[in-house]
Structure 1
Amino acid sequence: MAARPVPPPPPLDPALLAMFRGVATATISDNLERLPGLVGLRAFHRGGSLLGTALTVRVRAGDNLAIHQALAVAGPGDVIVVDGGGDTSRALVGDIMKAIAESRGVAGFVIDGAIRDSAAFAASDLPCYARAAIHRGPYKTGPGEINVPVSIGGWTVHPGDVVVGDMDGVVTFPPGIAPGLIAAVRAQEAREAEVLRMIREGRYDGRYAKPAG
């Protein structure tokens, strides 16, 4: 059963997106009122950060037909964000789909479910976040949806949301708040750099401490 077609969101200004390259997810989270983000996922790739915009997919537990259909329309900078309901009984993505994603310039995977061929991801710099790895393969009969709001770990991701990932996890946010958010992030980075400098110089007395960090 083919996924229900939904028009993609308008593209984000690449220059605005690039401002978040290398920004720590912890700093972004701090400036999103420490909201939960995408909890329960871990990185399976070798290293490197994730940056792109969400191409969202909703599938039934253990079925990856709609993910294949999403890869067919994905392009450079897309992050395949999959709501698999947290089910880990069958893998939704493996080495073949990783190769397809790489050939299309996909920025990475965020899977609320399981993957397989984890050794291939561990040897790759293509970002992949998921709940678990398992050898069991998926169904391919559908149904599914593409470019619809999805829920992962209690956090809603909308099509076109900015997706940032590092070894701490993944955060997402709507593109409309990106300019204000990056300004707040840069301000926090400057504060923290000053605190670290004071610590190195033996001048830190706790007055500039910020919560959790």
Structure 2
Amino acid sequence: MMLPPTSADMYDRFGDDLRVCAPLFRDFGGRTAFAGAAVTVKCFEDNSRIKEALDEPGHGRVLVADCGSSLRCAMLGDMIAERAVEQGWAGVIIDGCVRDVLRLAELDLGIKAIAPTPRKSTRRGEGQRDIPVQIGGVPIHPGDAVLCDRDGILIASPTLLPALLGQAPTSDLAGR
């Protein structure tokens, strides 16, 4: 698998055409650099929509979950993350907590979250999918380009996805 360009290099190249999430997120997955098109979920202390999304084929996309920055329960654990790997997701960004961190670190999946906690969430079937969300002070729409690495999280319009994936340059921004 080819790694995407670094977020620092992409920021140098595209500057203000990129949105930079606040540096609140830590790496928990075995993959620390990942990129893909955003699939969005908005939920609070109920991971039903996260599980539902990650049960579907990922096609190299990134699930972005606006969990209201709650630190009271984990929204992703080892079983759901293992399913995400099986389904071909590139990564998951959780604006909240995860659990089973030793196992998450072994998985070929990018996982960014705020913190770990052993407490699991409840499932009441609540939450929304495929709507605009906000994490780290940045708005994210379904289909936006997402690039994550140890330097942080970048969000861009879908037209920049090929560049963020390290494919041939697109648009007239390539010469910047």
TM-score (norm 1): 0.71
Is residue 55–residue 84 contact of structure 2 (8 Å, CA) maintained in 1? no
Q: Which residue in 1 is equivalent to 2:8?
A: 26
Q: Distance in 2 between matches of 1:142 and 1:150?
A: 18
Cα distance, 1:35–1:77 mapped onto 2, change above 3 Å: closer
CA deviation profile, 1:140-174 (whole Å, cap 9, x unmatched): 01321111111001101110111111111111111
Q: Which residue in 2 is equivalent to 1:147?
A: 130
- Post-superposition offset of 1:49: 1.4
- Please list, as runs of the form range in 1=range in 2, the aligned pairs for 1:56-67 lying within 5 A after superposition: 56-60=40-44, 62-67=45-50
Say whether residues 1:168 and 2:151 are aligned partners.
Answer: yes
Q: Distance in 1 between matches of 2:122 and 2:15?
A: 37
Unaligned runs of 5+ in 2: 162-169
- Post-superposition offset of 1:46: 3.2
Unaligned runs of 5+ in 1: 1-17, 188-213
SS of residue in 1 equivalent to 2:134:
strand
Q: Which has the larger radius of gyration?
A: 1
Cα distance, 1:36–1:163 mapped onto 2, change above 3 Å: closer
Q: Which residue in 2 is equivalent to 1:180?
A: 171
One-letter identity of the residue aligned with 1:180: S
Q: Higher strand proportion, which one?
A: 2
Number of matched residues?
A: 166
- Tell me which of 53, 59, 64 is aligned to 1:81: 64
List 4+ stretches of structure 1 deviating above 3 A: none
Q: Higher helix proportion, which one?
A: 1
Q: Which residue in 2 is equivalent to 1:43?
A: 27
Q: Distance in 1 between matches of 2:30 and 2:127?
A: 30
Q: Distance in 1 between matches of 2:75 and 2:172?
A: 33
- Please list, as runs of the form range in 1=range in 2, the aligned pairs for 1:187-198 lying within 5 A after superposition: none
Cα distance, 1:142–1:175 mapped onto 2, change above 3 Å: same
Is residue 85–residue 108 contact of structure 2 (8 Å, CA) maintained in 1? no
Q: Distance in 2 between matches of 1:23 and 1:73?
A: 27
Q: Which residue in 2 is equivalent to 1:96?
A: 79
Q: Distance in 1 between matches of 2:98 and 2:117?
A: 6
**Backbone CA RMSD of aligned residues:** 2.3
Q: Which residue in 2 is equivalent to 1:204?
A: none
Q: Distance in 1 between matches of 2:7 and 2:136?
A: 16
One-letter identity of the residue aligned with 2:40: T
